[in-house]
Structure 1
Amino acid sequence: MRKPFIIANWKMHKNIEESVAFINQIKAALPQVADEEVGIAAQAVALSSMKQTAQGTSLQIIAQNAASELAGPYTGEISARSLADAGASYVMLGHLERRRLFHEDNQIINQKVRSALTTGITPIICTDDKMVQAEVNGEIHYVFDQLKGVLKGVDPAHLQKIVLSYEPSWAVGSSQTANPKVAQQGCHRIRQTVANLYGSLLADQVRILYGGSVNPQNIGTIMAQPDVDGALIGRASLRPDDFLEMVNWQQPVTNVM
């Protein structure tokens, strides 16, 4: 059975002090790692302090990006090796904002995925809603062509631990209500794409998250979908109470403030 994974993506919010304070407010109410995985994707400068604060908890510390190279003359870039040293266990790659604002393409993201795997950091690969029709064994399937390019050359053994995320472009950074049917359809088609590339056995094992307008009011219906294994949450994750409510979506949470 695939373990649920709930992730806060803070983007460029919260400095080091605010990040540490947030963890101190939530860590006593985090679920056991056996039940669910929980992570926070924060700015790189805060990762080491967050890791120290989270010791003794199940909280995963996640980087929001990594360089495509492990070392070299790339001023301003951060190597996956350095992120691993700072305590990051996962790294988000290919987020829609990286593609839109920084013009990252499939080839660049593919290089980043392979570099992260080299260091032992698990990639969380974000994919938007751009699909193409393809014929597979005589049948017409909707295929995430973007995902096909990003996973090029990735060994099937590594795919077992890679996390994928479906982020429809209209939902990222918006206040529109997330549609559970859209979440299920997108995640299902990603799973179908993985099956076409790697086989149905691996496709059934990989975790696929939904990102875009997830909040405390709709996370239960999102998580109830059979192909949705977790959520990548933006603005709704910035308040400790709201984040804990979503982390503990299967049960009520007492106020932590």
Structure 2
Amino acid sequence: MRKPFIAANWKMHKTVAEAVKFVDAIKDKLPDPDKIEVGIAPQAFSLYSMKQAAGDSGLQIIAQNAAAEYSGPYTGELSLRGLKDLGVSYAMFGHIERRRLFGENNAAVNQKVKAALQMDVTPIICTDETMVQKEVNGEIHYVFQQLMSVLHGVSLDQIKRVVISYEPSWAVGIGQHANAALAEEGCRMIRRTIADNYTYEIADKIRILYGGSVNPDNIKEIMAKPDIDGVLIGRASLDVDNFLKMVNYAESEEQALAKATKKQVNDKQH
């Protein structure tokens, strides 16, 4: 059973004070971390303060990016060694905005992924819908060429520790509609690609997230799909109430109401 993973990508939003205030507002209202994993990827300068604020809540604080080198003369880069020392367990690589705006290519992302695995930081690999036809055992399969280029040199043991996020370009952006059926098809084909290039057993265990216009209105439909194990949320994650609705998507209405009522009683008592 793959544990669901609900992750927020805050991009270049929120100051340190705003980020800490956000964590303080949500950390006692998160789902059981044994059942659903929740994470937030803030700007780099907020990582330490958010880690401190999160405490033992189970909230994962994720790096949006990191360099392939652990140290050295790389002004402005973020060290995986430093992230590991800080207690950061996840880092994102290959986001579509890093590719479009900063010219990151498959080779650069591949080096970062391998460096993260060596440092025991779990890479969240973002990939789009770039595919090619390939014949496997007499059958035509659609292979995610970009993803397999990024995974070049990643061993059988290492691939088990990777998280993949499917971010189709048609769904990334403000005002786009997230199509759950198309999202599921993309995630299913990613799993098939992993199975073809590694093993079916490994493919069945890897968590595949979907990123692109996820919001409180569509998250249940998206998360109900069998090959979607989580979501990477952009703009909709910036609001406390919206974020809590999404991370608690699995709660029944009765549970949500009971929690809200209990909070109101506690607020009155204090």
Q: Give the TM-score normalised by the residue count of structure 2.
A: 0.93
The structure with more radius of gyration = 2
Q: Residue 162 of structure 2 aligns to which amino acid in structure 1?
A: I
For the residues of structure 2 that align with 1:138 and 1:73, how far apart are their CA atoms?
Answer: 50
The residue number in structure 2 matching 1:248 is: 248
Alignment of 1:1-257 (within 5 A): 1-251=1-251, 252=253, 253=256, 254=260
Question: How many residues are aligned here?
Answer: 257
Report how far residue 124 of structure 1 moved: 0.2
For the residues of structure 2 that align with 1:63 and 1:141, how far apart are their CA atoms?
Answer: 33
For the residues of structure 2 that align with 1:212 and 1:58, how far apart are their CA atoms?
Answer: 25
Please provide the CA RMSD for this pair. 1.3
For the residues of structure 1 that align with 2:102 and 2:96, how far apart are their CA atoms?
Answer: 10
Report how far residue 75 of structure 1 moved: 1.0
Q: Give the TM-score normalised by the residue count of structure 1.
A: 0.97
Tell whether the 8 Å contact from 1:95 to 1:126 is kept in structure 2 after alignment: yes
The residue number in structure 1 matching 2:268 is: none
Q: Which runs of 4+ in 1 moved over 6 A?
A: none
For the residues of structure 1 that align with 2:179 and 2:202, how far apart are their CA atoms?
Answer: 27
Higher normalized helix content (fraction of residues):
2
For the residues of structure 2 that align with 1:84 and 1:221, how far apart are their CA atoms?
Answer: 35
Q: Residue 180 of structure 1 aligns to which amino acid in structure 2?
A: A
Q: What SS does the aligned partner of 1:52 have?
A: helix
Q: Residue 64 of structure 1 aligns to which amino acid in structure 2?
A: Q
Q: What SS does the aligned partner of 2:157 have?
A: helix
Q: What SS does the aligned partner of 1:170 have?
A: helix
Structure 1: segments with no counterpart, 5+ residues: none
Q: Residue 175 of structure 1 aligns to which amino acid in structure 2?
A: G
Percent identity (aligned): 60
Report how far residue 168 of structure 1 moved: 0.5
For the residues of structure 1 that align with 2:179 and 2:212, how far apart are their CA atoms?
Answer: 10
Q: What SS does the aligned partner of 2:34 have?
A: coil
Q: What SS does the aligned partner of 2:46 have?
A: helix
